[in-house]
Amino acid sequence: MNLNGEQILEYVPESALVIDNTAFIISTNEIFLTQYGVKRRMYTGHKLALKDLVKFNQVSDEYLIDKTLREITFTVIPSSMIENGLLAARKIGDQFILIFKDISVEVQFHSKYKIQLDELAEYSRSLEEKVKVRTKEISESNQFISGMLDSLNQAIVVIDADGNCLPHHTTNCTSIFKTQGIRTWFKKKTKRAR
């Protein structure tokens, strides 16, 4: 079964129109009429050139027919709607079917997505810098506390709930307990006490 462009129109889920080989409009689908506010009577009963209905920016009508898919900007003249979209052109017999895919929503999503990615990258850079600054502050604070505790000339050890000596102790522990391995020494003493 061979279908012509007009018969195919009812199966096209996007705005579409059929033109003859001289670029005069033969028919449009309902989606095209509704989306762009075009009245069927504009081309019914007389010839209406494609250029009188749709103005393609930077593209001639003849060039459109030669391409199968192209991103374009176009204006639908009766409604003055300017659209960014994809145009697919397909020759069927002595007719051409032109399918218009509005991509303005996709362009908006892409722009919004790019802005969000840029914001996320900036937040990531900012967060990395904050982590560096905070890590330096904590390191300086730990050094200050260690220095302060070491200056007390006291043996200070940290013991967990099980009585194990943790690796945190003052430097005076080695001179007071007369050993380098304070954790080992402390462990031996606590085992004897139990």
Which domain covers residue 72, as residue numbers? 5-102
HSE of 187, CA atoms in CB hemisphere, 13 A: 8
Q: Could you report the per-residue pLDDT of 49-64, keeping only the tens digit for each?
A: 988 898 888 666 555 6
Residues 156 and 130 in one domain: no
76 φ, ψ to 5°? Answer: -85, 110
The residues, any chain, with a CB within 8 Å of residue 158's CB and separated by 6 or more, are 165, 166, 168, 169
pLDDT in tens, 133-178: 999 999 999 889 888 888 887 878 888 888 777 777 777 777 777 6
pLDDT at 185: 57
Reduce the DSSP state of residue 187 to 3 states and report it. helix
Query: Please, which residues bridge with residue 10 across strands?
Result: none
Do 95 and 159 sit in the same domain of this protein?
Answer: no
77 and 134, same domain (yes or no): no
The identity of residue 11, as a single letter, is Y
Residues 77 and 161 occupy one common structural domain? no
Strand order in the sheet with 15-20: 25-28, 15-20, 95-102, 81-92, 69-76, 54-56
The pTM of this model reads 0.52
Same domain, 126 and 156: no
What is the distance between the alpha carbons of residues 138 and 147, in angstroms, rounded to a whole number? 14
